[in-house]
Chains A and B, each alone.
Chain A
């Protein structure tokens, strides 16, 4: 349905932008847009510029490409200046602060695991249990009766017939029946 007094092209553009903005505020965190200017408008979205080197915590890369903290406060800048002098003048806290400016996680922190596996396993068991409940309900309320041939009486008749027929008389079924005494061996 075309609006009568605006150009179709402009309407399309507006509609698509409205759609994308709706998506951005809805489900999707960030939908790619064509214009960089628009990206500047959408605030509180953590845009990661993948075209420049990024910080990373990796055991096999001890010295990352960029320091963790890029924008230094005045105090931090002063510390950096002090770093240019002798390191024996730095206190332990200052040395630690310098380390944390450049690195987010230490090796020990990188290596430590989490307890997430317990949550995952627990979740798996909960859902398995719930599935079990569903299966049980299904067995009770959905399945019909079993065939009458599985009743006690029917099985007894079937067994007697198998004995009469001499089913597997050498090693198997009838072999176990004592025909003289008329009982199982």
Chain B
């Protein structure tokens, strides 16, 4: 999962590989002094399951998305794909576009994250017919 770059994990600094934009930390956002710590994969799986609920309602989508954006990370493409499909189930195109905008905004100075996410989501975007903010022209004020 994408973390804010240069975050030092508890177990020590990871060298950042530049071949593919992937900044991983070995532990989750919270640093407990005791208790089991959730791995990145568990975190991702949890969120994917959340958005994959077949009868998710609009409130849950909003709550999930707003909470996810509140974390100190950029969500993995697979979580975003589940969220976009949830938007499709709820017939909410505007939210789908908004999610893409939020991902770009969340990447902050790391400009390479957003194109990577779009690249990963391209099949889903084409399948569902979701335009990117750039295609609609709302990426510039």
Q: Do A and B bind each other?
A: yes
Q: Which residues of A contact B (CB under 8 A)?
A: 59-65, 67, 83-84, 86-90, 92, 95-96, 98-99, 101-103, 106-109, 111-112
Smallest CB gap from B133: residue in A: A106
- B138 x A63 contact (CB < 8 A): no
8 smallest A-B Cβ distances: which pairs?
Answer: A87-B129, A88-B129, A102-B94, A62-B102, A106-B138, A112-B141, A63-B62, A108-B141
- B94 x A98 contact (CB < 8 A): yes
Task: Using known A-B contacts A87-B130, A95-B93, determine if residue A108 contacts B138 with beta carbons closer than 8 Å.
Answer: yes
B104 proximal to A (CB < 8 A): yes
Counting chain B residues whose Cβ lies within 8 A of the other chain, the interface size class is: 20 to 34
**How many residue pairs bridge A and B at CB < 8 Å?**
87
Q: Which residues of B contact A (CB under 8 A)?
A: 61-62, 65-66, 69-70, 88, 91-95, 97-99, 101-102, 104-105, 128-131, 133, 135-141
Q: How far is the CB of B50 from chain A (nearest CB, A)?
A: 14
- B136 x A96 contact (CB < 8 A): yes
Question: Which of A84, A86, A102, A111 makes the CB contact (< 8 A) with B141?
Answer: A111
- Chain B residues near A103 (CB-CB < 8 A): 94, 98
Interface contacts beyond A95-B97, A99-B98, A102-B92: sample of 19 additional A-B pairs, CB < 8 Å, sorted by A: A59-B102, A62-B66, A63-B65, A63-B98, A64-B62, A83-B93, A84-B91, A87-B129, A87-B130, A90-B93, A92-B135, A95-B131, A95-B136, A98-B93, A103-B94, A107-B138, A108-B140, A108-B141, A112-B141
